[in-house]
């Protein structure tokens, strides 16, 4: 090879090396985004079905108690800049933590409703489906985090058995907060994955 040809070869090799690998998580990121988009309508329907099954005041038209919280239920809203400037690792770790908590809370709400409203088969089916989808989201998040080298948070069983020993009205309040924040988190996941999808195109 002439020196010129050698130079050309070296440059070609360097161009190959400099090209970033397509991100191996891109497909899972796109799948997670699609799943979250599909879940948006269902999480709104779950909240409305939940409220209408609880009787007054929950079923009253326009019922809302935005200030109501329940210890341990992950709160979705976040100031814009804090959300927008969050790094990938923190964004994914927080989502994982939230859905791990919803995995437990959706089971708890299912148990509460099976006792308080055994005839509410549609609501029970929706709660069961939401929990199954939550486990799917957790599987997706685990896979994305593993590929990106982000350590999975330790499995935390956030609920104590004492959670089962509360009165009917408190249970209804708790279920409302769980369904409302679950819906908020699905919306947040759509926004999170809109950002991630743009950053790691498939």
**Whole-Å CA distances, 178 to 9, 47, 81, 159:** 60, 9, 25, 13
Report how far residue 143's alpha carbon sits from residue 178's, in angstroms, rounded to the nearest whole number.
25
What is the total count of residues that contact ligand NAG (CB under 6 A)?
Answer: 13
Looking at 14, 68, 75, 139, which residue binds ligand NAG (CB under 6 A)?
A: 139
Shortest approach of ligand NAG to residue 139 CB, angstroms? 4
Q: Select 108 or 145, whichever has its Cβ closest to ligand NAG.
A: 145
Chain centre distance of CA 160: 22
* Binding flag, residue 40, ligand NAG (CB under 6 A): no
Report how far residue 80's alpha carbon sits from residue 66's, in angstroms, rounded to the nearest whole number.
19
Query: Counting beta carbons within 10 angstroms of the beta carbon of residue 142, is it exposed (0 to 12), middle (13 to 18) or buried (19 or more)?
Result: middle
* Binding flag, residue 129, ligand NAG (CB under 6 A): yes
How many residues comprise the chain? 202
Token representation of residue 150: 């982000």
* Binding flag, residue 97, ligand NAG (CB under 6 A): no
Token representation of residue 30: 């796109």
Compute the radius of gyration of the chain from its Cα atoms. 22
Looking at 23, 26, 31, 44, which residue binds ligand NAG (CB under 6 A)?
A: 31
Looking at 29, 33, 36, 39, which residue binds ligand NAG (CB under 6 A)?
A: 39
Contact segment (CB under 6 A) with ligand NAG among 16-24, 60-68, 112-120, 139-147 equals 139-147
- Phi-psi label, residue 56: left if phi above 0, alpha if psi -120 to 50, beta otherwise: beta
Shortest approach of ligand NAG to residue 143 CB, angstroms? 4
Looking at 140, 145, 184, 193, which residue binds ligand NAG (CB under 6 A)?
A: 140
Binding stretches for ligand NAG (CB under 6 A):
28, 31-32, 35, 38-39, 42, 129, 133, 136, 139-140, 143
């Amino acid at each position: 090879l002439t020196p010129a040809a050698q130079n050309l070869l070296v440059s070609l090799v360097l161009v190959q090396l400099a090209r970033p690998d397509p991100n191996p998580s891109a497909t899972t990121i796109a799948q997670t985004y699609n799943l979250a988009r599909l879940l948006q309508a269902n999480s709104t329907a779950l909240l409305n079905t939940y409220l209408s099954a609880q009787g007054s005041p929950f079923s009253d038209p326009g019922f809302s108690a935005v200030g109501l919280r329940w210890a341990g239920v992950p709160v979705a809203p976040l100031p814009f800049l804090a959300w927008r400037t969050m790094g990938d690792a923190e964004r994914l770790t927080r989502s994982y933590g939230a859905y791990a908590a919803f995995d437990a809370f959706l089971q708890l709400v299912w148990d509460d409703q099976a006792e308080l409203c055994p005839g509410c088969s549609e609501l029970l089916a929706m709660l069961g489906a939401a929990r199954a989808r939550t486990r799917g989201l957790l599987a997706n998040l685990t896979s994305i985090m593993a590929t990106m080298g982000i350590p999975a948070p330790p499995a935390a069983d956030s609920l104590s058995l004492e959670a089962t020993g509360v009165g009917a009205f408190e249970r209804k309040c708790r279920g409302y907060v769980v369904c409302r924040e679950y819906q908020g988190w699905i919306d947040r996941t759509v926004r999170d994955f809109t950002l991630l999808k743009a950053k790691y195109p498939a």
